[in-house]
Amino acid sequence: MPYDPSAFPPFAVTVDLVVLTVRRHALCALAVRRGEQPFQGRWALPGGFVRADEDLAQAAARELAEETGLRAHDPSAPAQDNGAHLEQLATYGDPKRDPRMRVVSVAHLALAPDLPAPRAGGDANSARWAPVEELLQQGGYGRDGEPVAPLAFDHAQILADGVERARSKIEYSSLATAFCPPEFTVGELRRVYEAVWGVALDPRNFHRKVTGTPGFLVPTGGTTTRQGGRPAQLFRAGGATLLNPPMLRPEV
């Protein structure tokens, strides 16, 4: 027996993506330019409708692939391949968040290593990495002087929630490695923490902490000098996903 459609109001369900990466020592998010009303021409988070036969995580992975070409890897196999970390963030359902109709958006958070360039349907002008600081401040401007903020809909709130999730989660998990290429040095990992938290960390104490946590980093044997200075050991992310004790975010 089919369910009575009059018993509940109809909703549209979308997924929106907070895709974060670290570029030039700054935490950046992927923004796309809206081609339609409402908020035409304004920047927004990438996203789209969930299809009829699709799970929420599948829809988010599909959107992520469409916007960035990234594969999302299974949450149970973190940082194994160079796919991005993808997790559900929160759901936003204010009746007035979309002026057209009732839309509930299930936001997802994706963390990716530094990527060559965004691609959105081949139109380079319609997608960009922007520092979250610019996207979140009132009337933010990009380096080219073009206004990038405020974001459309409630996307500033969604982005802020995603950034806060990332900031707190790298404290007690090995998630920061999701911002790094498959092989990375301790210094590169430290610069990820510094960019995400916006603080400076002591290189010696950081080195002691991460190399002293069993299962966090696995040496690959290689070294690199791509950061200049003395050659640094290369590591892969180890199996440990929980950092205990956690990395402490310095108090202001």
Partner DNA sequence: ATCATAGTCGTCTTCCTGACGATAAACACG
Partner DNA sequence: CGTGTTTATCGTCAGGAAGACGACTATGAT
Residue 37 CB partners (closer than 8 Å, separation 6+): none
Among 2, 122, 139, 221, binds a second copy (CB under 8 A): 2
CA separation for the pair 219, 116 (Å, rounded):
26
CA separation for the pair 198, 25 (Å, rounded):
9
CA separation for the pair 192, 196 (Å, rounded):
6
Q: Is 177 helix (H, G, I), strand (E, B) or coil?
A: helix
Among 56, 160, 201, 240, binds a second copy (CB under 8 A): 56
Which of DNA, a second copy, none sits in contact with 204, Cβ below 5 to 8 A by type? DNA
Instruction: Using CB under 8 A, count the residues that bind a second copy.
Output: 33
Which of a second copy, DNA, none sits in contact with 227, Cβ below 5 to 8 A by type? DNA
Of residues 105, 97, 118, the one with CA closest to residue 60: 105
Rounded alpha-carbon distances, angstroms, from residue 249 to 9, 64, 91, 183, 206: 44, 29, 27, 24, 12
74 binding a second copy? (CB under 8 A): no
Contact indicator for 15, 105 with CB cutoff of 8 Å: yes
What are the structure tokens assigned to 152, written together? 């459309």
Q: Find the shortest distance in angstroms from Cβ 87 to a second copy.
A: 10
Q: Find the shortest distance in angstroms from Cβ 110 to a second copy.
A: 16
CA separation for the pair 99, 134 (Å, rounded):
25
Give, as ranges, the residues between 83 and 102 that touch a second copy (CB under 8 A). 88, 90-95, 100-102
Segment interacting with a second copy (CB under 8 A) among 47-55, 141-149, 187-195, 201-209: 47-55
What are the structure tokens assigned to 228, written together? 């200049």
Among 28, 61, 159, 232, binds DNA (CB under 7 A): 232
What are the structure tokens assigned to 194, written together? 């510094």
Q: Find the shortest distance in angstroms from Cβ 199 to DNA.
A: 10
Antiparallel, parallel or unpaired: β 26-33 and 47-49: unpaired
* Interface characters, 208-227, with DNA (x: CB under 7 A): xx-xx------------x-x
Among 142, 150, 187, 238, binds DNA (CB under 7 A): 187
Of residues 108, 140, 138, the one with CA closest to residue 20: 108
Q: Find the shortest distance in angstroms from Cβ 8 to a second copy.
A: 4
**Which residues here bind DNA, judged by CB under 7 A?**
185-188, 190, 202-205, 207-209, 211-212, 225, 227-233, 245-248, 250
**Which residues here bind a second copy, judged by CB under 8 A?**
2-3, 5, 7-13, 49-56, 88, 90-95, 100-102, 104, 106, 245-246, 248
